A and B are shown apart, each in its own frame.
Chain A
Amino acid sequence: MNEPPVAIPLDAQPRLPHGVRLVHNEAHGGWVLLAPERVFKADPIAAEIVKRCTGQATVSAIVNDLALTYSAPRDRILADVSALLRQLAERRLLEL
Chain B
Amino acid sequence: MATTDDHDHLFPTQTSGLANGGAEPPRHWPIGLLAELTHRCPLGCPYCSNPLTLDRRESELDSPTWTRVFEEAAALGVLQVHLSGGEPGVRRDLVEITAAARSSGLYTNLITSGVGVTASTLERLVAAGLDHVQISIQDSEPDSADKIANYAGAFARKKALAGRLIALKIPLTINCVVHRANIDRITAMVELAVSLGASRVEIAHVQYYGWALRNRDSLMPTADQVPRAIKAVEGLRKRYHGKIVIDAVLPDYYARFPKPCVGGWGRRSLNVTPAGKVLPCHAAEVIPSLEFWRVQDHSLADIWSNSPAFKAFRGLSWMKEPCRNCERRDVDYGGCRCQAFMLTGDAAAADPVCHLSPHHADVVALAARQHDVPYSYRLNPRKADSNAPVG
Contact = CB atoms under 8 A, between A and B. Distances in A.
A37 interface: yes
A46 B170 contact: no
A91 B14 CA distance: 11
**Is chain A's interface secondary structure helix, strand, loop, or mixed overall?**
mixed
Nearest to A84: B19
Contacts of A80: 19
A28 B105 contact: no
Contacts of B29: 27-28
Contacts of B77: 25, 27-28
Contacts of B26: 27-29
Interface residues of B, number: 43
Interface stretch (B5-13, B215-223, B275-283, B317-325): B5-13
B238 A46 contact: no
B213 to A, nearest CB: 25
A27 B76 contact: yes
A52 to B, nearest CB: 13
A50 B18 CA distance: 10
B131 A39 contact: no
Contact of B21 (A32, A37, A43, A88): A43
Given A21-B131, A28-B31, A36-B199, A90 B242 contact: yes
Interface string A17-42: 11111010101111011101111111
B25 interface: yes
A92 B201 CA distance: 12
Contacts of B105: 23
B131 A19 contact: yes
A10 B139 CA distance: 42
Of all A-B residue pairs in the complex, the 5 with the closest CB atoms, nearest first, are A27-B77, A19-B171, A43-B22, A46-B18, A3-B241
13 contacts: A3-B241, A17-B199, A18-B171, A19-B171, A28-B77, A29-B23, A29-B25, A30-B22, A38-B14, A39-B25, A40-B15, A41-B16, A43-B18
Given A37-B10, A38-B10, A42-B22, 13 more contacts: A3-B241, A4-B241, A19-B170, A27-B29, A34-B107, A36-B134, A37-B9, A45-B20, A50-B18, A87-B18, A88-B18, A92-B171, A92-B245
